[in-house]
Amino acid sequence: MNNKGQSALEYLMTYGWALIVIAIVVGVLIVISSSSTAGVVCQPQSTDLGVQTASVTRDRVQLSLQNRTGVRITSVAVADFGDFSPVTDLTASAATVDAGINFSIDSGANDGPGALGRFTNGVIRVTYTKTGLTGASDTNIVCSGTL
């Protein structure tokens, strides 16, 4: 009977320590991966514009967009709202953008959303006119993340 008890205790001690080490390693990996993925992700709500790069900091909002309409865009206007309401001005780098060409949207230095922390509703509305069509189209670019 003593041998069975000793064997069970040795089994628990050996595998118990292994499980503790595995739990610590997994915990460290979770902390490292969550801190390295902090940032901001911006997605358009239509396929007309593609987000190539997005940089949102407390002091500045910068996006590089691609014209995916298949035709020339003849005017671009930008309005901001949602969690980006502290931003006072967003301007597009070009008024006319050929199909497939990138253009940028920039708030300028010292005109960012401020210290939002975690947010899910940073919305930028881009209004544009396509060649050959009357009336303007618009799409929202929704940003979320942590500042």
pLDDT tens per residue across span 87-141: 777 888 888 899 999 999 888 887 777 776 777 778 888 888 888 877 888 888 8
- Position 28 confidence tier, pLDDT thresholds 50, 70, 90: confident
Q: CA-to-CA distance for 63 and 57, rounded, in angstroms?
A: 11
Topology, domain 40-146: Immunoglobulin-like (2.60.40)
- Helix (H, G, I), strand (E, B), or coil: what is residue 87? coil
Confidence of residue 1 (pLDDT cuts 50, 70, 90): low
Run of H or E including 96: none
Distances (CA, A) of 20 to 8, 14, 15, 105, 116: 18, 10, 9, 50, 38
Tens digit of each residue's pLDDT (9 = 90 or more) over 84-93: 766 777 888 8
pTM reported for the whole predicted model:
0.66
